[in-house]
Chains A and B, each alone.
Chain A
Amino acid sequence: MNGIQKVDTRALQTNRFSKLLSSIGIYAIAALFIVLGVVLQSMGIINNFLTTQNMMNIVDAVALLGIVAVGMAFITYSGHYADLSAPTTIALTGIVSVELLRFGFIPAIMGAVVVGLIIGIINGIVIGKFKANPIIWTLAMSYVSMGVIRFVWVNKQIYPDVITDDPFPVMLFDNIYRFRFFNAISLPLIIMLVLVVVGQFILKRTAFGAQLKLTGSAKRTAKFSGINVELMIALAFIISAFTTTIAGLAITSLSRVGAYYNGAGYDFRAVTAIVIGGMTLAGGRGSIIGVLGGTLVIGLMNNIMTLLGVGTFSQDIIRGAIFILVVGINAKTLRSMGRDDA
């Protein structure tokens, strides 16, 4: 994008080491944080860091973020930044599912998925077909769906156990977030891991993934080589809306209330996870495994700061600084390896 386009031979050397580094890059940072935690623990500054319970807490806490980030990563991968309508999608699908709980558990889930997919399809068509700017369009979309929520439900928060007298669907709904396999592994965590595995497979092992990569990194080339670029982009937005819907159901289940304010902040938090995870906004780079790593790094960072007793205010400063630092280092290494001219 910058300067004169000249062939950089470094980019053509498929160096095994550089490949390895770029795929495990974020895990090196995660390992760094774990080493930091262990060192602090051995010095007696923090305790119980390296315990199964603490590690489980960390992954549990970021499971919801991971679910949103995995889906949104497809959008970033396709070169379309992010989906700013994620928070309102969470709120809208959540409130719809609670409202439909009166007809039973299955209709509630189906209703939420249908609403989520409609948002995804609209985003996909407008951005894929008509090439609207993704950030502005999803922003507009979030305004419109927020208007709809406020219009229909007039600032109310609706409760599953008030909507229906039947305790069974309420119990099921409550357990979307709370169910634990073997009393230890929570359902959202399993969902996140499944999504990561499936997402990684789709991105790296299927024709769709390869086409999406080309779409993200060189849209024009992709178009002229016969790829249905519009469809690829639309699908990315639909996938994102789908995982956001799952997160919406889980968040609503956790907070036991359908309300317009559920999910606030998940847009920028997901972008943070994705970008820390090594995906660049230029598109076509990074992996879902990397996004998982980014999500885990955020969890680790929060955990260590709380264990250290860092105050809320300083946490913000440190979080922002580490974010810029990690992304800056990532951009610099990619460039020095000639793998990115951005």
Chain B
Amino acid sequence: MQRLYGVWGGMMRKNKLDKSKLLALGDRFRIYILFGVIFIFMSLFAPRFFNSYNLTTILRTVSMNATIALGFTIVMICGEMDLSIGRTATFAAVIALTLQKKFGYGISVPIAVLAGAGVGLLNGILVAKIKINSFIVTIGTMTILQGATYTITGGNSVSLSGDKVFAISDFLAKPLLPMLPPRVLLTILFVVVFHLFVSNSQWGRNFYMVGGNRTTAWLAGINTDRITITAFILSSTMAAVAGILFAMESSAATLNMGDNSLMYVVSATIIGGTAMSGGKGGILRSVVAVLSLEMLYTGTILFGFGNEVKIFISGLILALVVLYEAYASYKHEKTIGQRAVLLEELAQAKEKI
């Protein structure tokens, strides 16, 4: 925010709108602008979009992927990839419900969360200690988790019934505050905690350091391996939590409930501005991106379009974002080291002071 005022101040002083600075501003707040545009457009034009019932529905639907995105973003900031998030969500959900029958949620949920964390620990150790590429490791754990999930359930989905179970489901789904059911409130709590953790703590800064330049981070005395492992544990744990909450709300877990989340969360995180090369991005941006995509999808349904439109639009937005970022860095690379650029950077630095 401080920097934002700096840019504004600079523009005021010059007393004219500086195009490049406006662009820079738009770039920094790209995802928030996208969010606003989609929200206003849908509210104005999509039938039955802007009412409390529909907005509650959107918030409830978004809860799962937003929760998964929290941990996944941290892995991305570290410059790694976690393809096992979707299957981890399913795996944990299945464990939670299967054990509930014997022990109740009080015991089954912590065990399921721990199981999720265990997946992350395994991923993290394989990536950081054995030094296998995370893309490869998580393809492997993805396959293993699928087999494990099938083995636990015997190929059937798991369901619970009974008044107590339904009471929990209903509690999670019914708005406690206007538009905010407990499941959404929990998600908001997670978002705030993760955001503060990543942007305000030393640990959080370390994720950026490791993702930005591992060697420098190591030289700066950061235990890079430990940071990487932590990132993977957080990612799997949040995926597990998301899966468990979804299953608790529906009192059932299916064997492919998390499969669609993988590509959804990956796309949203990228659109939100977290780079795959690491060291860049933020929790809030990913969450807002998930929310924006969800509003867009809801809009396409409300307008009565088919899935082809939904797939096409998500591809188009993703492609545009990737193209724009690639083009920006391409231009930056072309002009890097040139005198004019140096002068401009110097001027900007002066303004900030």
A315–B312 touching, CB < 8 Å: no
* Interface presence of B263 (CB below 8 A): yes
Closest to A315 in B: B147
Contacts of A171 on B, CB cut-off 8 Å? Answer: none
Closest to A133 in B: B276
* Interface presence of A314 (CB below 8 A): yes
* Interface presence of B133 (CB below 8 A): yes
CB distance from A240 to the nearest CB of B (A): 17
B326–A139 touching, CB < 8 Å: no
B147–A314 touching, CB < 8 Å: yes
CB distance from A127 to the nearest CB of B (A): 8
Given A3-B218, A146-B315, A324-B137, A316 and B130 contact (CB-CB distance below 8 Å): no
Closest to B325 in A: A132
* Interface presence of B176 (CB below 8 A): no
* Interface presence of B11 (CB below 8 A): no
Q: Which of under 10, 10 to 19, 20 to 34, or 35 or more describes the interface residues of B?
A: 35 or more
Stretch at the interface among A37-45, A178-186, A187-195, A268-276: A268-276
Task: Give the docked Cα–Cα distance between A332 and B130 (Å).
Answer: 7
* Interface presence of B126 (CB below 8 A): yes
User: Which residues A287-328 have CB closer than 8 A to chain B?
Assistant: 312-321, 323-324, 327-328
Given A4-B215, A143-B312, A272 and B130 contact (CB-CB distance below 8 Å): no
B311–A150 touching, CB < 8 Å: yes
Q: Which of A81, A82, A323 meets B140, CB within 8 Å? A: A323
B131–A130 touching, CB < 8 Å: no
Q: Which of B143, B277, B333 meets A133, CB within 8 Å? A: B277
* Interface presence of B203 (CB below 8 A): no
Task: Give the docked Cα–Cα distance between A143 and B318 (Å).
Answer: 9
CB distance from A257 to the nearest CB of B (A): 19
* Interface presence of A135 (CB below 8 A): yes
Between B140, B148, B267, B312, the greatest number of chain A beta carbons within 10 A of the residue's beta carbon is seen for: B140
Contacts of A272 on B, CB cut-off 8 Å? Answer: 139
Given A143-B312, A147-B315, A320-B143, A130 and B327 contact (CB-CB distance below 8 Å): yes
Task: Give the docked Cα–Cα distance between A135 and B136 (Å).
Answer: 13
Given A132-B323, A136-B322, A324-B137, A312 and B276 contact (CB-CB distance below 8 Å): no
Task: Give the docked Cα–Cα distance between A312 and B149 (Å).
Answer: 12
Contacts of A316 on B, CB cut-off 8 Å? Answer: 143-144, 146-147, 150
Task: Give the docked Cα–Cα distance between A187 and B150 (Å).
Answer: 36
A to B CB contacts below 8 Å, 14 in the list = A1-B214, A131-B329, A135-B135, A141-B315, A143-B315, A147-B315, A147-B316, A151-B309, A271-B136, A271-B139, A320-B141, A324-B126, A327-B136, A328-B132
Interface residues of A (CB under 8 A from B): 1-4, 81-82, 126, 129-133, 135-137, 139-144, 146-148, 150-151, 154, 268, 271-272, 275, 280-282, 312-321, 323-324, 327-328, 331-332, 335, 342
Known A-B contacts: A136-B318, A139-B263, A271-B139. Give 19 more (CB < 8 A). Answer: A2-B215, A2-B224, A137-B322, A137-B326, A140-B322, A141-B315, A143-B319, A147-B315, A150-B308, A313-B151, A314-B147, A316-B147, A320-B140, A320-B141, A320-B144, A320-B145, A321-B140, A331-B131, A342-B133
